[in-house]
Amino acid sequence: MSQLPWHEELNAALSERKAAGRYRQSRLRTGEQGVNIVVDGKPMLSFCSNDYLGLAAHSDIKQAFKKAIDKEGVGSGAAHLLTGHSHYHQQLEEALAEFTGQQRVLLFSTGYMANLGVIDGLLSRGDMVIQDKLNHASLLDGGRLTEAEQLRFPHADMGRLHKRLHTAAHAKHRLIVSDGVFSMDGDIAALPEMMALAEQHRAAVLIDDAHGFGVIGKGGRGTVSHYNLAADKTPIVVGTLGKAIGTGGAFVAADEVVIESLIQKARSYVYTTAQPPAIAAATLASLQLVENENWRREQLQDLIKQFRQGAEQLGLELMPSITPIQPIVIGDDKKALAIGKSLEDKGLLVGVIRPPTVPNNTARLRVTLSASHRAEDIEKLLAALELACAH
């Protein structure tokens, strides 16, 4: 049995985390992803998936995956720069470039790897990366990985971002980094203001649109489209494919020079095996559904409105979100866990988010909605919340 010399220290830290109500545990889902799932052997109505458009188990996407498996097998067998780059990968990069309105797209195996690769690949010693304090962990880790200096500004505070840019005036290059839709709050970055500040200070902007891509903007094109930015005012965009798109992997969309630079320098692209070609084939099928079936986003907006109106009538503390991410702030870690357990006992699964994922004293229920939910599902959740939060 493998055991570290500091075994007891680790064990004590685990015990402390349990006592504080911050212990994490995985859940075992059986069957397809969706709103009605089986978790740990129990049927559940789920409000904690990022499958925002309900596409993860769509028949067209599954069929595209199966056909590609028959043609190309399962594994890609190599990195993209060796023999792992299939025609499905190439077609997907071209389709995503057209969909986003960018010159080029580069596929990555995960969103985490894309964020690490793009920040480290574009910055070096003497540069500066300036990040929103509530950015996703992968963006913050990308900042730590690079040799560039890292500054952070209070969430969505454009005045403080302006000051940070003045502080970074000595840097050779400056990169502003932000989520598009913030994963724990559900709010949307002030991208037009961010782009204006970037232009003023000769900085670049990187947006991680993991929770916006497929959900907001024309045809689901994300945060850039949501604000209707001009083509010459577009940031570098990272998009993930395992959330609204329902498949897996991620991409970086940018101009020709940025993409070619990442091919040369992004370590998380160069030194890893390409995702299975069938995943790319499935994503091509999903992308057509995302663009053409606008009813999914319309259904989602109706459900968001219904949930927010009902939650406000119950006096629940919501956050200013128009996206499928609808957090209910509880505050105390153990109280949030108790409410989550009460909901689960009634067959409702909701994410319970505690520090350090969110700031201290802001533990919350992270309700995420899907186009596959029905109005009666929302009413069932609201009724359970009324009882659970009254205690």
Domain ranges of the chain: 26-57+294-388, 59-292
Does 321 count as an annotated binding residue? no
Query: Any idea which fold 26-57+294-388 has?
Result: Aspartate Aminotransferase, domain 1 (3.90.1150)
Contact 188, 216 (CB under 8 A): yes
- pLDDT band for 391, please (50, 70, 90 cuts): low
Buried b (16+ CB within 10 A) or exposed e, 148-162: bbbbbbebbeeebbb
**Is the pLDDT score of 208 beyond 90?**
yes
Calculate mean pLDDT across residues 99-121.
Answer: 97
Tokens found for residue 380: 């069932």
The annotation status of 24 as a binding-site residue, yes or no, is yes
211 flagged as catalytic: yes
User: Is pLDDT of 305 > 80?
Assistant: yes
Q: Is 211 annotated as contributing to ligand binding? A: yes
Summary mean pLDDT of the chain: 95
- In the residue annotation, 243 being an active-site residue is answered as yes
Q: What is the pLDDT of residue 3?
A: 87
Domain 59-292 class, CATH top level: alpha beta
* pLDDT top residue among 61 and 20: 61
| Residue 390: predicted pLDDT | 74
Residue 23 confidence class, pLDDT cut points 50, 70, 90: confident
The reply to whether 351 sits in an annotated binding site is no
Please give the share of the chain, as a percent, with pLDDT higher than 70: 100
Measure the CA–CA gap between 250 and 240, rounded to whole angstroms. 4
**Residue 269 labeled ligand binder:** no
Q: Which of 49, 76, 109, 183 does the annotation list as catalytic?
A: 183
Give me the catalytic one of 58, 80, 85, 211: 211
pLDDT for residue 287: 97
Active site residue 80: no
Q: Please check the confidence at residue 288 and state whether its pLDDT lies above 70.
A: yes
Report pLDDT for 25. 84
Torsion, Cα 233 238 239 243, to 10 degrees, reads -130
Kindly report whether the global pTM for this prediction surpasses the value 0.85.
yes
